[in-house]
Amino acid sequence: MDFLPFLITVEAIGFISFPFVSFLFGNLKDCGYSISKQFGIVTIVYITWILSSLKLLKFDLSIIFALSFLLALSLLTLKRVSVKFSREIILQEVIFVSTFFISLIYLMYKPEIYFAYSEDFMDFAFLKSILRSNYFPPQDPWFAGKSLHYYYFGHLIAATLIKISGVKAEVGYNLAVATFFSMAVQSAFGIGYNLSGRKLQGLLTAVLTCFMGFISGFLQLLAYVTGMSILNYKPFNGRFTDWLLSFDFSSATRIIPHTINFYPFFTFLQGDMHAHFMSIPFQLAFIGICLSIYKRFNVISFVSALVFALFFIGINTWDFPAYLILLIVTAYLTTKNRVFLIPTVAITLVFLYSLLNGYIGFVCERTNIIDFLQIFAVFTFITFAYFLDIKPKIVAILLATIVTGFLLNFQLAFLLVVIILLIILLMQKKEKVEFPAILALIAILLVIFCELFYINDAYGVPYERMNNVMKIYIEVWLLWGVASAHFLTKLRKVAKVISIILIIASLIHPLASAISMPNKAYMGKTNELTLDGMKWLEESKPTEYRAIKWLENKSGVVLEAPGEAYTYSSRVSTFTGLPTVIGWVSHEVMWGRGWKAVNERVRDVDSTYLNASKSLVEKYNVKYIFVGDVEKKRYGKIKLNECKWLKKVYEDGNVVIYEVKN
């Protein structure tokens, strides 16, 4: 029943923040209820982080202060607003709670905090490190002695909810995953409803943004039915149930060569609490906030939205530029005040500076139209159907652009037609363009950005834009999904029917993935239905599990073998939150540590195990040395028990833990 205090915590935060949210964004049809949970969480986490970062209060006390502050703020605004729980708000709660419990059922079949195929080990290590912290920034659990400088606000959100509810971290991890997804569904419904006043559009928006997937699932089904290869999808010989259980969900995530492509529901199915997933409900909430500002601008709401936008720097920095631009464009189109053009100039200068100094580069490989349509077929069709209905003469221009794009090796150039049409609409002064058109414009501009530029990170050619596509395409999906749900309601009957057929076809991949994913051995396996993410470890490696649990209440640096990404390594630091000298090597490099510093630590750890080097133990202030299956496999016979400066404090089967004597 751990889910109950966790759910009550999330609901309480939403209810407490609702009066203040209603005060700021009460012009929405639901008075801002669809964003109240996220707004309350952002407020609490902001205050907690600031107080703990300034060393004014410890983590626990900061949470109490933040909750009290939010409650006081809402009580003060109750005098100015009339809070009413309408039928639409009750429906939203039904949607949220239903999604939460359905998510839990799925996660009980796939609860594993596992090392292969996902970032679970990294994310749980962050979470445990934060839970151990009194002040921020927390320690980097995989680089002892240094603080964590990767964006960790999403993990801080989960840690805060775990602290308040009192659940175990390994259970709270899965509860947080269910909560993030459920908030996203509620907010998506709220956006659709607030745009139109119709519940049907709210449900449609939720389906397009939070449940629909790539059309590649339909192509795989077609290959199975026909017995013929369709694009890269091979036929399957066997019963339909066998096809479902063995469904290849991973190939669709590599549709565009040298990149990774996800859709929101797929990130939930993976079950890892990674930044690009955790930011989804907050992206949707921010879209709802911008819709409120678009309807009626006021300075307090704008400033609140700007502060909310800054939160993206901490939860998933990749999201910040797009949503800052959305806020600025929304404010300008609502007010026509040229002061909002100043940030546009600043953003342009930052872009040019980044381009000239190598922080942004030009891509070497572009997306072909077939691969693109496997991802965005539904949104592309709906958008073009919408504009063809308004401007039927663009057909010739569209065909010419497609041909030109093929000749110039820029096959997505046809999207420039939509960009031009949207800009023309935005420049019209007779009346406001529909808010979804703004979302569509930014979404398509982001797609074009990924075709021309990449933000430089640790990956080199030909993978230079792998991270860019993965992170930015999630933003595109949400922005374009909200816009497409609205455009769909404006289409003629024939176009609507085709759109619905495409949507149904695009639901095959997520549904088949939900059935197949928990049955894949490399996703982890637990013998019982549970929300305990460590249960698989207890079942498969009981001696290591017990040793890790023994260390859980200890403090200090623990030494274990250097980690290799997506392997069973760095498990002690992951599940205890105790810092280790070096964890997953490649991840630390991606976080900006540099190969020189990382390789030095790898050599030092190897030398400590092989040569029993006391000086290296002192160099990193190591308190415990862990010797388990991973260490024995890497180093062979380890003779640390002969060291007089070590004391054996734990032994169970093949696992030994030494403590460094003072």
Amino acid at 391: K
pLDDT at position 586 over 90:
yes
Looking at residue 399, its pLDDT comes to 85
Q: Are strands 557-559 and 622-627 parallel, antiparallel or unpaired?
A: parallel
Joined tokens for residue 477: 């999906």
Joined tokens for residue 46: 């902001």
- Among positive and negative, which fits the CA dihedral 284, 289, 292, 293? negative
- Residue of 195, 215, 217 lying closest to 489 (CA atoms): 195
Alpha-carbon span 367 to 357, nearest angstrom: 25
Q: How far is CA 95 from the centre of its chain?
A: 21
Alpha-carbon span 473 to 455, nearest angstrom: 14
Non-local (6+) Cβ contacts of 2 within 8 A are 165, 167, 168, 171, 172, 175, 531
- Residue of 277, 211, 285, 323 lying closest to 41 (CA atoms): 285
pLDDT at position 429 over 80:
no
Joined tokens for residue 37: 């949970």
Q: What are the boundaries of each domain within the chain? A: 216-519, 541-660
pLDDT at position 405 over 90:
no
Looking at residue 432, its pLDDT comes to 54
Q: Against a cut of 0.85, is the pTM above it?
A: yes
R_g over Cα of the chain: 26
Q: Do 523 and 249 contact (CB within 8 A), yes or no?
A: no
pLDDT at position 431 over 90:
no
Q: DSSP H helical segments within 110-215, as ranges?
A: 120-132, 153-165, 169-196, 199-206
pLDDT at position 294 over 90:
yes
Alpha-carbon span 425 to 423, nearest angstrom: 5
343: preceding bond cis by omega (within 30 degrees): no
Q: How far is CA 395 from the centre of its chain?
A: 37
pLDDT at position 81 over 60:
yes
C-alpha distances in Å from residue 154, one per residue of 150, 182, 491 = 11, 15, 38
Looking at residue 433, its pLDDT comes to 61
Looking at residue 65, its pLDDT comes to 98
Non-local (6+) Cβ contacts of 261 within 8 A are 214, 252, 253, 254, 255, 375, 469, 470, 473
Looking at residue 78, its pLDDT comes to 86
* pLDDT, tens only, 188-225: 999 999 999 999 999 999 999 999 999 999 999 999 99
pLDDT at position 582 over 60:
yes
Between 638 and 98, residue with greater pLDDT? 98
* pLDDT, tens only, 315-371: 999 999 999 999 999 999 999 888 998 988 899 999 999 999 999 999 989 999 999
* pLDDT, tens only, 359-404: 999 998 999 999 999 999 999 999 999 988 877 777 888 888 888 8
Q: Which long-range contacts (CB under 8 A, 24 or more apart) does 165-169 make?
A: 165/2, 165/5, 165/6, 165/8, 165/9, 166/5, 167/2, 167/5, 167/6, 168/2, 168/532, 169/124, 169/127, 169/128, 169/131
Give the mean pLDDT of 401-424: 90
Alpha-carbon span 503 to 485, nearest angstrom: 11
Give the mean pLDDT of 261-267: 96
C-alpha distances in Å from residue 8, one per residue of 37, 97, 158, 585 = 12, 11, 14, 39
- Among positive and negative, which fits the CA dihedral 103, 108, 110, 114? positive
Give the mean pLDDT of 633-637: 91
Task: Output the CA angle 468-469-473, nearest 5 degrees.
Answer: 115
Looking at residue 395, its pLDDT comes to 80
**Pseudo-torsion of CA 449, 452, 455, 456, nearest 10°?**
170
Give the mean pLDDT of 418-441: 81
DSSP tally for the chain: helices H, then strands E: 30, 6
Count other C-beta atoms under 10 Å from residue 479's C-beta. Answer: 28
Give the mean pLDDT of 621-647: 93
